[in-house]
Amino acid sequence: MSDYTLRYVGDQALLVEFENEISMAVNQKVRALKYDLERQTVPGMEELVPTYRALLVHYDPLTADLDRLKEAVKASAAQMDLSQLPKAVVTEIPVLYEGEYALDLEEIAKIENTTPEEIIRIHSGSDYYVYMLGFAPGHPYTARFENPFSFKRRETPRVRIPGGSIVVQLALSDIIPFDQPCGWNIIGTTPILACDYRKENPFLLKAGQWIRHVPIGKAEFLEIRRQVELGEYQCKTYERGT
């Protein structure tokens, strides 16, 4: 049984909120509620969008009964079982931490008073949890739970950074799917695509899974990029804890 707050979001969605914090414990409730609701048959219920601490429940007012939908949320919140969630999946993200592909690595190492090698070891040494996707298609909001960096954003954001950039601050690290403005430090670059519209399912990641950054060299980077362009590359994926 989990306490929640239910809010109206216009006339086609409800918001189910848990505690007002960014934490694994709270996000797991969001995940469990989504998992349970998807297994109920609720007329008119449409897409469920999970975020840090809340689940947005879209519905079609022409086919949904609002009271019945609220009942379904209540039932799911009461019966959802965090221990019954499917095993978390880890997707490996190959990262080149080098030269022009890691623009801010040296600076980061200076701020943290250590070597670039140690920064790479820290960044690739922990799994990052994917709290949610948003901002751009396929863009994950991820965090690790130990050993955070001490720096935040850069003083002046960059007007444009390339898609594939891996950016970091504190315990957070994001994969930038497409070119965009960004104020975070660039620690490396991945040759894989977080969003590839050529694929039937264009999105590499989903909320509630984990990623692991794996250091690669320049030659491997170019080979993976070649395979990605041909649509042949598959990221290594496994169940967490196996």
- Chain residues in the site for another protein (CB under 8 A): 7-13, 15, 17, 20-22, 46-56, 58, 61-62, 66, 132-139, 141, 178, 195, 197, 202-203, 206-207
In angstroms, what is the minimal distance from the CB of 238 to another protein? 21
In angstroms, what is the minimal distance from the CB of 209 to another protein? 12
With respect to another protein, which residue has the nearer C-beta, 55 or 166? 55
With respect to another protein, which residue has the nearer C-beta, 46 or 112? 46
With respect to another protein, which residue has the nearer C-beta, 114 or 237? 237
Q: If you search the block for the tokens 């609720």, which residue do you land on?
A: 42
In angstroms, what is the minimal distance from the CB of 137 to another protein? 5
Q: How far apart are CA 213 and CA 93, in angstroms?
A: 5
In angstroms, what is the minimal distance from the CB of 194 to another protein? 9
With respect to another protein, which residue has the nearer C-beta, 99 or 162? 162
Let me know: does 2 contact 77? Beta carbons within 8 Å: yes
The crossing angle, in degrees rounded to 10, of helices 66-79 and 24-38 is 120
Q: What is the DSSP letter of 101?
A: G
186: phi then psi, degrees, rounded to nearest 5 = -95, 115
Let me know: does 214 contact 94? Beta carbons within 8 Å: yes
